[in-house]
Amino acid sequence: MTVAKPSPARRARTALPTIVAMQPQPRPLRLIIQIPCYNEEASLPETLAALPRAIAGVDIIEVQIINDGSTDRTVEVARSLGVDHIVDVPVNKGLSNAFMAGLEHALAKGADIIVNLDADNQYNANDIPRLIAPILERRAEFVVGDRPITTIAHFSYLKRLLQLLGSAVVRMASQTTVRDAPSGFRAIARDAALRLNSFDSYTYTLETIVQSGLSGIRIVSVPIGVNGETRPSRLIRSIPQYIWRSSKSILRTALVYAPGKFLFRLSLPLLVAGLILIGRWLWLTIDGTDRAHVPSLVAAAGLLLTAVMLWVAAITGEQMAINRRLLQDIQYRLRKAALPPLLERDDAGDDQQP
């Protein structure tokens, strides 16, 4: 018996369709270099000229300035030099506000990594690839440039000492290994930038390190180079004022992000001193002294009572810290949801007035 074969047309109609899986194309990695500016028309051209135009592992490099209420031609100079984004703050609100406004705008423009540096060209821009390398290698989310403090010619001996001492205090408060806490040359991954806050009107440098270290953001340091001094620092106008305001920033941030640990450690010297006085009073009493030593007993009671009050405050602070962490997580999710979808390219040069 002969079996008829189906015609070619019928075979084409009954063949199962072939499904070709399309591989998703990787989204280009975007780096935005942000520069807070306040009356920087003289130094901005040199700073912009030093920025790298291509970096291995980065597909798109854009430059953004934050004009913090400048009264000179900073914005005009930036536009003439082809800056991609300008964040315009109409009134001078300080470095911390400019830094946060820049982060918000860079995130909205789709930045995967944000590099922050000063407009006075004090940092060596050739070290930007070294700065972002830990983020590209997934070893960190936050990288701080470590200047050679002890060899910077225009730093006085006192300024070097204060920089090293201040960084040591920040390391203890933040539980990190950051060697140059006041450095403004830093790289921040997108997810870490969504979690950062700065409430200090003076500077963002110390607060963001303490916050990151105590919030679980992976932060490291890398050595960087510096250029010669182009103008005096606008942040450190007076050494005593800088010490006072920096100390307040560290203490306030430690109280906000680790109140229990901070207050408990603060109570330990009082506890030890109170126990020593109590022990002395008991020893003298058992030894049969003729004096009552009431002042020692009163002082011991005061010290121990203060220590107990700090313990109560520490417990209350820890409860508030739990609520703060929950609110911070909600803030992170809201910030992330509010961002526009990440696109391969977007319009550049749009001004924003926060």
- Confidence class of residue 349 from pLDDT cuts 50, 70 and 90? very low
Q: What is the mean pLDDT of residues 93-115?
A: 93
Lowest mean pLDDT among 138-142, 153-157, 276-280, 301-305: 153-157
CATH homologous superfamily for the domain 30-257: Spore Coat Polysaccharide Biosynthesis Protein SpsA; Chain A (3.90.550.10)
Query: In the chain, where are the structural domains located?
Result: 30-257, 259-338
d(CA 129, CA 256): 34
Write down the pLDDT at residue 346: 46
Helix, strand, or coil here: 21?
Answer: coil
Rounded CA-CA distance 89/91 in Å is: 6
Residues 168-211 pLDDT 10s: 888 888 889 999 988 999 999 999 999 998 887 777 888 899 88
pLDDT digits (tens, 9 = 90+) for 21-74: 555 567 789 999 999 999 999 999 999 999 999 999 999 999 999 999 999 999
Q: What is the pLDDT of residues 211-243, one digit of tens each?
A: 898 888 999 999 999 887 766 666 666 677 777
Compute CA distances 50 → 47, 74, 186, whole Å: 5, 17, 16
Please give the pLDDT value at position 145. Answer: 94
What integer pLDDT is reported at residue 94 of this predicted model? 87
In 3D, which of 122, 112, 332, 151 has the Cα closest to residue 227? 122
What tens digit of pLDDT does each residue of 277-334 get? 888 888 877 776 666 667 878 888 899 999 999 999 989 988 888 888 888 889 889 9
DSSP per residue, 200-212: -SS-SHHHHHHHH
